[in-house]
């Protein structure tokens, strides 16, 4: 991003996204006070979803404010969020001696590796005709939420307190990312 945008825009955008994250976190703390951050991070699904909402709103505001290109910035946001989330989950796994968090950390680590692989190779895929930036980010987000949906379906109380709703919501978001990927692939070069 630093080649296409000036640093004040990048840092301004990062601040807006972090502010959205904090608003989501504080909102979760206010609306769901019976949950605390001392619980395992992976169990506090309300925190996860409100933070996702806050980050999404912050991202959309920064897109509007700085006139960023959606797919390019989604790539940067995607890997950044995965790495930060991986750190939170690993800390949770060690802090609470949680094997489920450690397993979930492996899923996130897999997604980070998938992103790096796809980011290097996507232009060589013959079936991805457009060759446009965004493939790695959309695919990684789609796979992340698809895995989350499957985990929530098979183990309804491992990821969050949301139960089956977690599976449905994650599946819908995965579908949206894969649909956006399909539309991006159909665009002309």
One DSSP character per residue, 132-164 reads: -TTHHHHHHHHHHHHHHHHHHHHSTTTS-S-TH
pLDDT cut 70: percent of the chain above it = 83
User: Residue 28 — pLDDT band, cuts 50, 70, 90?
Assistant: confident
Mean pLDDT (the chain) is 83
Label residue 52 by pLDDT band (50, 70, 90): very high
Mean pLDDT calculated for residue range 119-129: 76
| Residue 27 Rama label (left phi>0; alpha psi -120 to 50; beta) | alpha
Question: Residue 94 above 80 pLDDT?
Answer: yes
pLDDT level of residue 125 (50, 70, 90 thresholds): confident
């Amino acid at each position: 991003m630093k080649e296409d945008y000036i640093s004040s825009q990048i840092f301004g955008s990062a601040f807006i996204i972090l502010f959205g994250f904090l608003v989501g976190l504080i909102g979760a703390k206010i609306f769901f006070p019976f949950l605390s951050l001392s619980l395992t991070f992976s169990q506090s699904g309300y925190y996860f979803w409100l933070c996702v909402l806050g980050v999404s709103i912050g991202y959309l505001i920064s897109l509007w404010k700085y006139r960023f290109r959606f797919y390019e910035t989604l790539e940067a946001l995607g890997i950044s969020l995965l790495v930060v989330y991986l750190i939170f989950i690993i800390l949770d796994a060690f802090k609470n001696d949680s094997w489920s968090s450690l397993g979930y950390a492996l899923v996130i680590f897999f997604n980070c590796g998938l992103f790096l692989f796809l980011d290097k190779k996507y232009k060589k895929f013959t079936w991805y005709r457009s060759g446009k930036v965004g493939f790695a980010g959309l695919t990684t987000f789609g796979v992340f939420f698809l895995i989350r949906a499957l985990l929530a379906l098979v183990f309804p109380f491992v990821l969050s307190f949301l139960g089956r709703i977690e599976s449905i919501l994650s599946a819908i978001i995965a579908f949206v990312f894969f649909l956006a990927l399909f539309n991006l692939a159909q665009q002309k070069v």
